[in-house]
Amino acid sequence: MKMVIQSLLSIWLGLASAVAAETGITVRQEGMRLIVEGWLKTSVSPATAWTVLTDYVRFPEFVPGIHANQVLESRNGGKIIEQRGEVISGQFRMPYTGQMRVEEHAGEGLEILFLSGPFKDARGEWNMQPGRPLKLTYRMDMDLMKTPFPPPLAPAIAEQQVRTWVEVFGREMERRKAK
């Protein structure tokens, strides 16, 4: 019995480390700028990844904390989106509403700029690096003087948010691939 448990534990640890090897995150501060970058490698096609990244209205179905996304305007590869949600990190909870401009670069990535709300001027960016596996990177760039988070907690909260987004987008891409 002991050997069976050890074998199962070793298989589980192997799977966990294999999954961990396929994702990563870095956090760095440059003066008052906080840059958090998360990445994942996935076997989904670029078309599936693109479909998930640009399915704004369905984000509340699979992204924790996003309660509503509404496309207000769409033209020339760009969209204005209103988003309502809540950032939750341990005991810290912060509801928000804001508008963002999303510039779509088909098959390559997205550039996001919050235009209003507590995240005003924060930037996000999804980049797709084709290959087998496909590598997706999400980068958040915010001014610590403008962040809505308490300054000592900002790096940890931002890291948790980016980690969550990378993981849930990866899971949604895999789920859609399986259909």
Q: Let me know if residue 32 belongs to a domain.
A: yes
Q: How are the residues of the chain apportioned to helix, strand and coil, as percentages rounded to the nearest 5?
A: 35, 45, 25
Residues 6+ away with beta carbon under 8 Å from 138: 37, 38, 39, 124, 125, 126, 162, 165, 166, 169
Distances (CA, A) of 55 to 46, 59, 62, 69, 78: 14, 7, 11, 10, 14
Ranking 76-90, 93-107, 141-155 by mean pLDDT, the lowest is 141-155
Tokens of 70: 């509404």
Q: Which domain holds residue 148?
A: 24-178
Q: Let me know if residue 38 belongs to a domain.
A: yes
In Å, how far from its chain's centre is CA 142? 15
| 153 within 8 A of 89, measured Cβ to Cβ | yes
Tokens of 99: 């508008």
The identity of residue 155, as a single letter, is P
pLDDT-based confidence at residue 86 (cuts at 50, 70, 90):
very high
Global pTM? 0.82
Predicted local distance difference test score (pLDDT) of residue 11: 34
CATH code of 77's domain: 3.30.530.20
Predicted local distance difference test score (pLDDT) of residue 21: 37
Q: Let me know if residue 163 belongs to a domain.
A: yes
Convert the pLDDT of each residue in 27-69 to its tens digit. Answer: 999 998 999 999 999 999 999 999 999 999 999 999 999 999 9
Q: Let me know if residue 130 belongs to a domain.
A: yes
Q: Let me know if residue 170 belongs to a domain.
A: yes
pLDDT-based confidence at residue 22 (cuts at 50, 70, 90):
confident
Q: Let me know if residue 3 belongs to a domain.
A: no
Predicted local distance difference test score (pLDDT) of residue 137: 96
Q: Let me know if residue 144 belongs to a domain.
A: yes
pLDDT-based confidence at residue 111 (cuts at 50, 70, 90):
very high
Q: Let me know if residue 18 belongs to a domain.
A: no
Residues 6+ away with beta carbon under 8 Å from 18: none
Share the mean pLDDT of the chain.
85
Half-sphere exposure of 119 (CA within 13 A, CB side): 25
Number of folded domains in the chain? 1
Predicted local distance difference test score (pLDDT) of residue 20: 34
